[in-house]
Structure 1
């Protein structure tokens, strides 16, 4: 283990699967154009459910992508993780055959894992008995299946793990991957999150919790973070995967570097299993620890990709937390929630949102918070309402706060070979 100055860690590849597509450029264009990926659900009949819409990945054919045999062995969330990781590897230009496999690893988060497989096999068991349960059940539904399948795909034998911290899963996974590289336990990590909770139990469970928006007649306008008329989040699915590596490894192979990972912080609320601390104290601690880890002053942050789920309690608590951490600088921050367009990908959200944060640095465009027509009382910061904004940003924070009181924040910066921005 390297006990000296932490190694610099950079982002060199990105891949995703979302309701707005799975190719970086079309995804980014749609996001900056303010288009919504939310619409009626067609994965199953939602007639008996309170909610009939979500951020569904459409036209997904696992047999066409993996073949009959492999598709049978992969739950939908692992399929997403594999495809997003393949996109990220191609985007990075990395050739794992030229790197020591013991120094290359995987860290992929998921809040729930193989919920599709769990429901399917439970139905078989109840109808036909336990002897008819598939032998692939456990390997498909376990939360670490995504990480395991990705590591097998490239024969990576370095650190391999999975993080399950609800909606903070991907952000915790990326932060942990960053730390492994900083201390020398890995050189390259495939990291991020994948989630496919649009199932009978997922949709019904979140609706029973009264966490979801009920705007069935206007789904594209249902996710409205920080807006006065928000009534809950929109359940979505997808994956966001990044290639992160030690700077010296990336430079040695001539990689394009999108941005640098600068800081990571996380903290617990110790308050309630689903509701956030009303004063955002856990979220504030995560952001403060992130800034401390990055050795960055509060006024160095230009833009925040907010957790911003569109829940009445969560958006206000996050706003309070940002004011607590950033003080007078909070009024100068540029903030947006891409969940207004994508909905909430739960354990995958932090991966997709860090990709959006990275592209904001890389392109000089900040995506908007759509459906923000009338800010709610107390939500009085600059949330980039409805229209994308051109702006140079050098340091960007991405927040993820999950059920159970899990709070995590990442800080990334514009890469400069001579040192931190």
Structure 2
């Protein structure tokens, strides 16, 4: 029996690059970092981040609903609504047991709890909000999408650190291939702009400390990189079997043709320097899609802007592709590191690159310092003809997830 093709029929994006797909693509093409001083992080050693533009949640959702949602759930619901509209799905199309939701979230929210802990420290437990827990547990972003749309099918949350969003796409694809669902909304959502998150990453020496020039801080693969920049956001992709999409007259933006995964089995947060196991995930995605290295027109790299991670990824790409890999772009130069949502956001960007036949530039890249020389697209967008592109997502714990998209 042939394996059904899985089509991407809708995209929704809420990121520092904007609240719509159009705004995101325009910001990516400009290739300039969106890092700026962050009032939430004031007085900390690292006091800047990449922030989602202001959202009038009361107007969009109503005051009661907006109050109920933590930031990462708000992003997810708004991205899902966009994706559904983009896929030309009517409200009734999203209801019922054949519609699933799969989201990647790196951790629970660290923004809601400090107020609750403060009340406990003051010996005033009665002031702890009854919403503190349901606002904050990781599954609530997927749950809130399901509630908002009336989707009664399987609803999952995957936590694989910064590979979470990419892993969610694979689970969604498998639900469709198995015939469990007809439509799955898949992606990731996270807001890492909490003081606790910033302090923890700073103590690990993972964050850039360019406080005086934050717009130059996120610089994937650049010789002068010194750490990543915290970001936030969400991406939701509507996935359907191609035959189902065609039957309802839906457009196909791209095909999710290949997925690969592996685990470094090495260290809690440091990647394998030789990239050997990450390269296996890349080759698995190629094999899954029936593609050769020569078929790939672009790699959207994980590209965190940390010294260890970028070097290991460069090694993995060189191993997987043999010799010189395809042209590489790294969106975190523009939007920072959106943690558990990163893999989904950058997968959506890969779909846009295929649609527009354009590779967006990597912000702040000037020169490469590793043993492996990559073709980093920088400065201006690069127009190119391509039928396939890859998106990489690598997370703490050694989680490696790769998605491969092809033109319909």
Query: TM-score, normalization: structure 1?
Result: 0.94
Residue 350 (structure 1) aligned to one of 343, 356, 371: 343
Return closer, same or farther for 1:292/1:332 CA change in 2, 3 Å cut-off: closer
What's the counterpart of residue 83 of structure 1?
78
- Deviation, 1:45, is 4.9
Q: Is the 8 A contact 2:33 2:218 kept in 1?
A: no
Match of 1:159 among 154, 162, 165: 154
Choose the corresponding residue for 1:28, options 25, 29, 48.
Answer: 25
Corresponding residue number in structure 2 for 1:388? 381
Q: Superposition pairs for residues 21-100 of structure 1, below 5 Å?
A: 21-42=18-39, 44-47=40-43, 49-98=44-93
Partner of 1:418: none
* Alignment partners' CA distance in 2, 1:370 and 1:100: 41
Q: Is the 1:20–1:36 Cα contact (8 Å) retained in structure 2? A: no
Give 2:224's aligned residue.
Answer: 229
Local SS of the residue matching 1:56: coil
Aligned-pair CA distance for 1:283: 1.1
Find the aligned partners of 1:312 and 1:36 in 2 and give their Cα distance. 19
Structure 1: segments with no counterpart, 5+ residues: 416-421
Q: Distance in 2 between matches of 1:388 and 1:379?
A: 23
1:7–1:184 Cα contact (<8 Å) kept: no
Q: Does 1:212 align with 2:214?
A: no
Task: Give, in angstroms, the shift of residue 125 of structure 1.
Answer: 2.2
What CA RMSD, in Å, does the superposition of the two structures yield over aligned residues? Answer: 1.4
SS in 2 for 1:15: strand
Alpha-carbon distance change, 39 to 5 in structure 1, aligned in 2, over 3 angstroms: same
Q: Which residue of 2 aligns with 1:147?
A: 142
Q: How does 1:290-301 map to 2 (within 5 A)?
A: 290-301=285-296
Count the aligned residue pairs.
408
Q: Decide which of 265, 269, 285 is 1:270's aligned counterpart.
A: 265
The structure-2 alpha-carbon separation of the partners of 1:387 and 1:135, relative to structure 1 and needing over 3 Å to count, comes to same
In the TM superposition, structure 1's runs of 4+ consecutive aligned residues that sit over 4 Å from their partners are none
Equivalents in 2 of 1:355, 1:270: separation in Å?
28
**What's the CA shift for 1:118?**
2.1
**SS of residue in 2 equivalent to 1:263:** strand
Alignment of 1:122-271 (within 5 A): 122-271=117-266
Q: Residue 308 of structure 1: CA displacement?
A: 0.5
Larger mean Cα displacement after TM superposition, 146-155 or 87-96: 87-96
TM-score, normalised relative to structure 2: 0.97
Are 1:401 and 2:394 matched, yes or no? yes
2:95, 2:149 within 8 Å by CA — same for their partners in 1? no
The 3-state SS of whatever aligns with 2:291 is coil
Alignment match of 1:364 (pick from 357, 366, 369): 357
Residue matched to 1:320: 315
Summarize deviations over 1:307-336 as a string: whole Å, max 9, x none.
0100101111011111111113xx251111
| Structure 2 CA distance for aligned equivalents of residues 204 and 7 of structure 1 | 46
Note the C-alpha offset of 1:128: 4.4
